[in-house]
Copies of this chain bind each other. A is one copy, B any other.
Amino acid sequence: MTFLIPMPSSDTAAANRLDAFDAYRERMNERILQQGTHRGTKRFFNLDTTAYHDGALSGDTKELLGLVASMVLRCNDCIDYHLLQCVKAGYTDAELEDAMNVALVVGGSIVIPHLRHAVETLDLARAREESTE
């Protein structure tokens, strides 16, 4: 039902997609977690955050697991979140493409639209990195 808008060509507009995502995510998480929220939901959010902390496996490895899980389950918001964490963790493009290839083979061609989205997000993230330097 969403109306498809051609991607903006300028880098500014492009970076805005990531910034809009960050802002919306933060705003809604605050809305969900503040003011007398359901205790179970609050604890779930905690558990979710903790799952990616260093443990028997490094947090960085687990972000990669989160990325692949998000791709095969085909959730763009989850892909964006874990991809941005993976970029922060210092993975190279080649490493991320190798992980995304596993997701593509496991999940099949139905994953392709999400691969397009992920590659676009990666490009935007790299551009944002450069413009911040």
Contact = CB atoms under 8 A, between A and B. Distances in A.
A20 B5 contact: yes
A70 B107 CA distance: 10
A66 to B, nearest CB: 6
Given A23-B6, A97-B37, A109 B48 contact: yes
> For this complex, into which size category does the number of interface residues on chain A fall?
35 or more
Interface string A13-46: 0001100110111011101100001101101110
Contacts of A44: 47, 101, 104-105, 109
Chain A interface main SS type: helix
Interface centre among A17, A48, A55, A65 (most CB of B within 10 A): A65
A99 B20 CA distance: 29
Contacts of A94: 38, 55-56
Contacts of A8: 3
